[in-house]
Structure 1
Amino acid sequence: MKISLLLLIFAFTFLAFSSYSQESYELNSGWKCAPVSKIKDPGTTISKSAFTTENWQPAVVPGTVLSTMLENKQIRDPFFGMNNKLIPDIFNTGREYYTYWFVKDFEENNTSGQEVWLHLRGVNYSCDVFLNGNKLNAKTHEGMFLRQSYNVTKFIQKTGKNRLAVIVYPPDPVGNPNGGQGGDGAIARNVSHQYVAGWDWIQPIRDRNTGIWDKVIIEKTGKVNIKNPHIVTLVPGRRNPEGSQKPATIKVSAELENPTALPQKGTLQYMLDGSKVSKEVTIQPHSTIEIKLPDHILNNPKLWWPNGYGEQHLYTFKMQFVLNGKVSDTEEMNVGVREIQADWNTTTRSKQISVNGQRVFIKGGNWIISDAMLRFSDERYNAEVRFHRDMNLNLLRIWGGALTERPEFYEACDQYGILVMQDFWGSGDCNGRWVDPMKLDDQWTRRKYPDDHGLFLKSAADQIKMIRNFPSLAIWCGGNEITLPVDIMTPLRDSILPQLDGTRWFVDYSNSDDMSFNSLGGNGDGPYGIQPLDRFWNYKTWPFNSEIGSVGVGDYESLERFLPKENLIAPVYSADTKREKVDSVWQYHKYIGYEQYIDPYGKAKDARDFGKKAQLVNFDQYRALMEGFSAHMWDWYTGVIIWKTQNPWTSLRGQMYDYYLDPNACLYGLHSGSEPLHVMYNPSDTAVAIVNNTFKHQYDLMLVIDAIDMKGNSKSLGQVFVEIGPSTTRSILGIKKEIREMAKQEGVFLSLKLLNVKKETVSSNLYWLADEKGNYSGLQSIQKSQVSITSREVQKGKIAVTLANPAGGPVAFFNRLSLLDPKTKKRLLPVFYEDNYVSILPGESKTVTLEYTPNKEVSPLLSVEGWNVEEKLVKIDK
């Protein structure tokens, strides 16, 4: 790549903006649209107020053509049943079918004489932009991830009546959705997302998400505009979350744009934690310059830590440019003071991540996208990231077949302490890693995708500027399971990232030897299906596994949201053929099999029974997965990233909660297995172990081990004081003989507790163990439990629920708490449960706190239903 191209990328000023001044507003309602096939007038005419749009239909912006069609009831919900098959696919219709005009009338007369800017944060795929009869872009804009910014001051109407018109063209080519990963792979010739042509977890998105899919913003500034502020925090040495801190260094720069015909002299300044840092500067006419401010020493900083290790403190950062005593522009954001390191662990032969000098064992999830049709919201981002915090995870990897996640996603990750590994846009499937008969082109051709390497690099530089200030962003990744083409990867790694960021580890692809040395052969991923529990403990997989996962079907209420009644048929496993018979609609929604793992609980009677028993399997699978990896941290592993923790559509695989934000038992299995301080049982050697995934030495812990039979009779198997060092796993006590003897006839419950010196429970874990034949025969005949339930509102939107199980009876096993609409008796979503699928030992009680967004018109009911507890509906005391 020639140096001139690099300079072009870094000087690509019309693309660059990061956060917005206080004088800005979104154009997010009142849009209209029409297919280009019905409109023959040019954009210079359409964008004039005199042109009538009376017969145009309402449009969803931000959104896509398909989300607009859905809103206007022109198509049925593509996430329900087989509806997606009824929608014409762009590969068959041609691109014009989904090429649309979008128009927005808005009020702005700019009487204050400010500079007015139009920002489009994302259009898929190409577009021309018109305002009040004027075309704003000299050349058709291309690239899903390339932002646009235009100074429109001279085009704003003095009358205040303005019209914006944008014609949006789909990707080219659109790709053939032939059932392959990314269809025939041709979608990857664009700088766009690849899953829209179909994948093994989703059906094709019929319009390939054509539209103005991200925010459209009007910003008003003075004569100088601040763009792309860059904040770097340096935290030298090894820090602890508590106590006073040695100083941190804050390094700040920003771009200043002067669109006027005169030089502008003023002061660039920022305020942080009561301190002001400033520098006088002159910007020449019609130019943009980058200004570096003096380094600032922040004394006794409050640091930002990943979830489970410390607080997520965020400082308010305000940057201003002051011109002639007046503020020309202001940029505000939250800043987390932290430093990320990546070192090679010679024992595991993989990278290990450190934050503020302390190594962090990565417990992560693979994130696809919040919504497959790009219907994003702050509330949904917040809910989904919060679920990951509640799972006790500390990292999300943004998979390379999707997109650069939005700033609102990163804001949620900052809040909840979730580190992020951000892939760029490539995958081994579409981009040529393997021979694939489903693909249009051979490997050699696909290795050159996308068609426009310069566009990829411009887009990458732009997106780096957009998200580089978020403390949660920890790792850049070149591509999913493959390197990017050399003339993309080399300048990205060696020039663009060092210049625009330079503070984070760049791994060339997601299962690279640089991340995790693959001494076992293969591709370094998986397995992806259901596993025997002891395999997670015994089988040594890749030392930093970027993708490993299991099942994830929800319960009956989840299934009936998107499966027609006639298709609510449980899969049936045949021991003879070792295969499942599965309904076609389940298959369309990418069901991944439970195989023989349901039958030990008794053959599923129907879909409701299947969903109920699937939750037991779900909980066990993900608890064992994280326990097995944690048991070998720092000797086998430095981290694990689950494939995958969420679905952006109604898929029947790999998810801790469904598309509608209803959690299943996977979430709470992970919540248990990922506890920072955790007591656990190794099913292969029947030993009890403790993992301490914190930075603190834990002293004076009492380990209590009890076995409880199906009638509720308890037998002590051990009680001993233990201690455990920071970031350590210890095997404590073997119980092989006792536990196998007790489980022999009908299985047994194994209760593990860690108590502190105040006799408070700091970790508890309950396992249900099979009989000698591998069946849960005792669970199939266990008596009903007469658990009592009380609930009260402790504050608005927060409810405390107490379950008490009387002595003399069985364990009240696997109780699902749900908050219901009192009229429909359907679940309110989302609700955040401190714990769920909880079991209560005889003579004990447990209090669970749940949080939700209250509705003045609805006083919810609480539902509690367990394996051996009949559903009870409980009113909530005020």
Structure 2
Amino acid sequence: MKKTFLFLLLFSVLYGNAQQRYELNSGWLCANIKDAQSTGPEISKPGFSLNSWMPATVPGTVLTTLLNNKKVPDPFYGMNNEKIPDVYKTGNDYYTYWFVKDFQEQAVGNEQVWLQFRGINYKAEIYLNGKKVNAKTQVGMHLRAQYNITKLLAANGKNRLAVVVYPPDFPGNPNGGQGGDGTIAKGLTTQYTAGWDWIQPIRDRNTGIWDKVTIEKTKGINIQNPQVITLVPGKRLPEGKQDPATIKVSVEVENPTSKPVSGILQYQLAGKLVRQPATLAANKTTIVKLPDLQLENPKLWWPSGYGPQNLYDVKIEFVTANGVSDREQLKVGVRQIDNIWNEHTRSMGAFVNGQKIFIKGGNWIISDAMLRFSDARYDAEVRYHKDMNLNLIRIWGGAILERPEFYNACDKYGLLVFQDFWFSGDCNGRWVDPMKKEDQWTRRNYPDDHNLILNAIEDQIKMVRNHASLAFWCGGNEITPPEDILEPLKNDILPRLDGTRKFFDFSNSDEMSFNSIGGNGDGPYGIQDTKTFWANRTFPYNSEVGSVGVGDYASLLRFIPKENLIAPQYKAKPDSVWDYHKYISYEQYLNPYGKPKSAEDFAMKAQLVNYDQYRALMEGFSNKMWDWYTGSIIWKTQNPWTAMRGQMYDYYLDPNACLYGLRKGSEPLHVMMNPLDSMVTIVNNGFTTRNNLMVQAKAYDMEGKDYFYSQAFNSVGPSSVRRLFPMNQFLTKLDKKEGVFVSLRILDQKQNILSENTYWLAGKDGEYSGLKNIRKAPLKITAIDQKNGKVIVTLSNAAGNPVAFFNRIALINGNTGERILPAFYDDNYVSILPGESKTVVVEYTGKQSNLAIEVYGWNVEKQKVNMQ
């Protein structure tokens, strides 16, 4: 036994990096099908001239390639999208392109070479060295494809790959409806590309080799689609020694050769080696199940805000007498996710490692509407969601099943994922809709090819099922798939390929959140009086509830021409570019601060409303945690296009006040004031009781004079809310004709601030007259670059000053004044009380030079601060 073990390890070491997997992600050329004027066998021969072909972006879309070659203007800027021909009007040939890539590769001995496409939209014919690769046309955007090209490789190793890509058969009429006329949903593609209420149509409908193209070499055997299941019984805490967890592993192993192959399938995890002998039949894929592993004292994975995101490296190998044939490596988090119906709220409750989790989520569309994905962008966007103190992201059904790189970031940052499949109530027939070409009965059976959908579902489940962050599956956005898709998905595919996660038939189904109130089961979507979130009971696990989200002035400058930077006026039609970029009116909430004088003034006042809206939203839901609600998911937290609604940061990854208001309202330990009765309340999302918490309440007038109200020790139980004391009589005694500030804090016994929250209250007439006339507060600001990706900013407000209100901190290039994006602030839009200081930590990625800090506030002049 010991000799065999050493033999296997020896071959594992000798194998080293012999296995090869690399991307074909550069050096591609392309041409429109009308310009190529040749066949696949001819184009894919190395001698065929490509002199007139233009560089192609792969992975990417046709539109991305055209933009990168300056053939079209930036469709995200101004009205440029109207200047780009739409596939519905041009016909599909206009966006049908050949893509060609020359690469060096040979197979030696028993080596097998695999060509892998992780996504092509919509149809493709593939050729290599003059020969057809795919016997059947590759169809469907959301589907991986793998081809064994060993016998097609050139003897001299110089190969040419040629792929012709066709747009969706039914691109749909972008007539202004949700998903245009709806026919985009007849195929397996992205519905949003025909237009929605938060995006204009994407002109090529995402046509292209949009996801990774990979070459993999193995020594005969090919390991595919491993499945790792982790079982964590009992109720756990993040700290202390853990009882064992069970690890279950099974693997698909393909033998493409003409002879049976015997060997040992093995995996290593946490220093343990688990093995299973197997004989693989010729020309067949076999599922091999390995013995269960009892993992002692496991390091568990927890959602953000509840514990660490521990991940284990898993190395899987198939070893024969000739050595390691193939190897796959992945990271897994040891955790167990359960769902228990809450009879009191009449909604589903989420449990991780036996602990109930109050869901604070955000709806996600897609990272980039033109599919310009990157590890760095995914990392930044998911990190922003962690910074919002959220613990879940829901992937909306009109886009994609998200990429492994997205899930990697969610694993890293602790964001649970609620993954929809590719259906929406708008396109798939939930409602009567005069904008749709076909009736509800017809649309109810979209897409046309149900077998294609089932194949794609199986494939995509296998692609992401090992991620710790993947928590829930959902049949579709606001509607179920057709019955002959729903039934096998629910009763066969998911039990067989996963079996560990809750499946909701659709995103606002009664089994998720019982709709006893009426309506569609989600919303509201527009701006609300902040009291609404506290007073009005909505759906107990609300899958979509949201508001506005205009970015600040620096954000508007990135995509609105200067001549269109006109502040919207109440009840007046907004500027055409604002309207085109889906602006939602909320001037009536800005006017109490003073009617905006300019677009810059508008953007600043919009941030006040943004902050207040999202803080109140999450505070209102948290106030009724486990009483009215088990969770809420904001519609929506990001935009894949330069839209002006539903975003905590803009397309360019610049955060606005929505993010920091939501961050404040979502704190794991939080102090807040109920606007209905001025009751000071504390929320504890943790698993243990918090004792000896000093809760402090003060008020400040517009001159900066403070009025002490209360300071008392309190405790709050695990995962609970505690109402402490009302401030209404105290606030009524203050002269509120101009408004006041309310400062709430939680301190520990060492007087460290654990939570602080500053409200600004309007006068009795609803106007912020005090803020309109407040004196300037000259801040002293220092910035220290620690040279490790962190900058420490300190803002000090001298005694005798008024509150230095609502200060935006921005990390900039000191030479150009441009913001460094992305940048991550542990707080922003901060207010500094008289006689106090506040420190903000700013983090950035990559190498940056000439850094500086820019600060401006409501009553603080803009200033640039150089680094110390």
TM-score normalised by L of structure 2:
0.97
Does residue 475 (structure 1) correspond to residue 509 (structure 2)? The answer is no
What's 1:323 paired with?
A: 320
What's 1:487 paired with?
A: 484
Deviations for 1:322-348, whole angstroms, at most 9, x for unmatched residues?
Answer: 111511111111110000101110000
Q: Is the 8 A contact 2:417 2:472 kept in 1?
A: yes
Q: Is the 8 A contact 1:753 1:761 kept in 2?
A: yes
Going from structure 1 to structure 2, the CA distance change for 1:363 and 1:580 (only over 3 Å counts) comes to farther
Deviations for 1:104-127, whole angstroms, at most 9, x for unmatched residues?
Answer: 001112346511100000000010
Q: How far is the alpha carbon of 1:828 from its aligned partner?
A: 1.1
Distance 1:709 1:136 in 2: 75
What's 1:110 paired with?
A: 107
What's 1:64 paired with?
A: 61
Q: How far is the alpha carbon of 1:855 from its aligned partner?
A: 3.1
Q: Which amino acid aligns with 1:65?
A: V
What's 2:193 paired with?
A: 196
Q: Is the 8 A contact 2:19 2:218 kept in 1?
A: no
Distance 1:720 1:796 in 2: 40
Distance 2:121 2:734 in 1: 61
What's 1:621 paired with?
A: 613
What's 2:180 paired with?
A: 183
Q: Is the 8 A contact 1:21 1:332 kept in 2?
A: no
Query: Quick check: 282-291 or 847-856, which moved more?
Result: 847-856
Aligned counterpart in structure 1 of residue 855 of structure 2, from 858, 864, 875 = 864
Going from structure 1 to structure 2, the CA distance change for 1:590 and 1:270 (only over 3 Å counts) comes to same
Distance 1:854 1:748 in 2: 42
What's 2:679 paired with?
A: 687
Q: How far is the alpha carbon of 1:244 from its aligned partner?
A: 0.7
Matched residue of 1:29: which SS? coil
Q: Is the 8 A contact 1:176 1:184 kept in 2?
A: yes
What's 1:775 paired with?
A: 767
Does residue 443 (structure 1) correspond to residue 435 (structure 2)? The answer is no
What's 2:211 paired with?
A: 214
Distance 2:227 2:857 in 1: 52
Q: How far is the alpha carbon of 1:402 from its aligned partner?
A: 0.4
Does residue 791 (structure 1) correspond to residue 761 (structure 2)? The answer is no
Distance 2:367 2:647 in 1: 12
What's 1:416 paired with?
A: 413
What's 1:719 paired with?
A: 711
Distance 2:481 2:40 in 1: 37
Distance 1:839 1:426 in 2: 44
What's 1:541 paired with?
A: 538
What's 2:244 paired with?
A: 247
Size of the alignment, in residue pairs? Answer: 852
Q: Is the 8 A contact 1:480 1:509 kept in 2?
A: yes
Runs of 4+ off more than 6 Å: none
Q: Which amino acid aligns with 2:642?
A: T
Q: Is the 8 A contact 2:29 2:55 kept in 1?
A: yes
Matches within 5 A, 1:2-81: 23-81=20-78
Q: Is the 8 A contact 1:571 1:583 kept in 2?
A: yes
Deviations for 1:448-498, whole angstroms, at most 9, x for unmatched residues?
Answer: 100000000000000000000000000000000001100000000000000
Distance 2:260 2:839 in 1: 66
Does residue 875 (structure 1) correspond to residue 862 (structure 2)? The answer is no
What's 2:7 paired with?
A: none
Aligned counterpart in structure 2 of residue 592 of structure 1, from 584, 595, 603 = 584
Distance 1:711 1:854 in 2: 43
Distance 2:587 2:666 in 1: 26
Distance 1:580 1:430 in 2: 31
Q: Is the 8 A contact 2:744 2:758 kept in 1?
A: yes
Distance 2:19 2:524 in 1: 49
What's 1:766 paired with?
A: 758
Distance 1:260 1:77 in 2: 49
Going from structure 1 to structure 2, the CA distance change for 1:224 and 1:618 (only over 3 Å counts) comes to same
Q: Is the 8 A contact 2:110 2:220 kept in 1?
A: no
Going from structure 1 to structure 2, the CA distance change for 1:32 and 1:770 (only over 3 Å counts) comes to same
Query: Quick check: 111-120 or 518-527, which moved more?
Result: 111-120
Q: How far is the alpha carbon of 1:824 from its aligned partner?
A: 1.8
Deviations for 1:162-209, whole angstroms, at most 9, x for unmatched residues?
Answer: 111000011011100000000000000001110000000000000001
Does residue 380 (structure 1) correspond to residue 372 (structure 2)? The answer is no
Matched residue of 1:129: which SS? strand
Aligned counterpart in structure 2 of residue 503 of structure 1, from 494, 497, 500 = 500
Q: How far is the alpha carbon of 1:853 from its aligned partner?
A: 2.1
Q: Is the 8 A contact 2:815 2:850 kept in 1?
A: no
Q: Is the 8 A contact 1:21 1:330 kept in 2?
A: no
Distance 2:376 2:506 in 1: 31
Q: Is the 8 A contact 1:223 1:264 kept in 2?
A: no
Aligned counterpart in structure 2 of residue 841 of structure 1, from 833, 856, 866 = 833
What's 2:283 paired with?
A: 286
Q: How far is the alpha carbon of 1:159 from its aligned partner?
A: 1.2
Q: How far is the alpha carbon of 1:793 from its aligned partner?
A: 1.6
Matched residue of 1:207: which SS? coil
Does residue 266 (structure 1) correspond to residue 263 (structure 2)? The answer is yes
Going from structure 1 to structure 2, the CA distance change for 1:100 and 1:268 (only over 3 Å counts) comes to same
Q: Is the 8 A contact 1:580 1:595 kept in 2?
A: no
Distance 1:831 1:605 in 2: 30
What's 1:454 paired with?
A: 451
Question: Structure 2: which 5+ residue stretches go unaligned?
Answer: 1-16
Deviations for 1:573-592, whole angstroms, at most 9, x for unmatched residues?
Answer: 1xxxxx24311110000001
Q: Which amino acid aligns with 1:874?
A: V
Q: How far is the alpha carbon of 1:594 from its aligned partner?
A: 0.9
What's 2:364 paired with?
A: 367
Q: Is the 8 A contact 1:365 1:397 kept in 2?
A: yes
Q: Is the 8 A contact 1:21 1:219 kept in 2?
A: no
Going from structure 1 to structure 2, the CA distance change for 1:854 and 1:253 (only over 3 Å counts) comes to closer
Q: How far is the alpha carbon of 1:380 from its aligned partner?
A: 0.2
Matched residue of 1:545: which SS? strand
Q: How far is the alpha carbon of 1:720 from its aligned partner?
A: 1.0
Question: Structure 1: which 5+ residue stretches go unaligned?
Answer: 1-19, 574-578
Matched residue of 2:543: which SS? strand
Going from structure 1 to structure 2, the CA distance change for 1:641 and 1:743 (only over 3 Å counts) comes to farther
What's 2:629 paired with?
A: 637
Distance 2:322 2:340 in 1: 48
Distance 1:362 1:68 in 2: 40
Distance 2:109 2:209 in 1: 29
TM-score normalised by L of structure 1:
0.96
What's 2:166 paired with?
A: 169
What's 1:527 paired with?
A: 524
Deviations for 1:251-289, whole angstroms, at most 9, x for unmatched residues?
Answer: 000001011111111110000000000011111111110
Aligned counterpart in structure 2 of residue 300 of structure 1, from 293, 297, 303 = 297
Backbone CA RMSD of aligned residues: 1.0
Q: Is the 8 A contact 2:359 2:392 kept in 1?
A: yes
What's 1:88 paired with?
A: 85
Distance 1:751 1:198 in 2: 44
Q: How far is the alpha carbon of 1:146 from its aligned partner?
A: 1.0
Matched residue of 1:70: which SS? helix
What's 1:604 paired with?
A: 596
Distance 2:480 2:221 in 1: 40
Identity percentage over the alignment? 63
Q: How far is the alpha carbon of 1:795 from its aligned partner?
A: 3.5
What's 2:233 paired with?
A: 236
Q: Which amino acid aligns with 1:868?
A: N
Matched residue of 1:405: which SS? coil
Does residue 428 (structure 1) correspond to residue 419 (structure 2)? The answer is no
Q: Which amino acid aligns with 2:407?
A: Y
Distance 1:112 1:799 in 2: 55
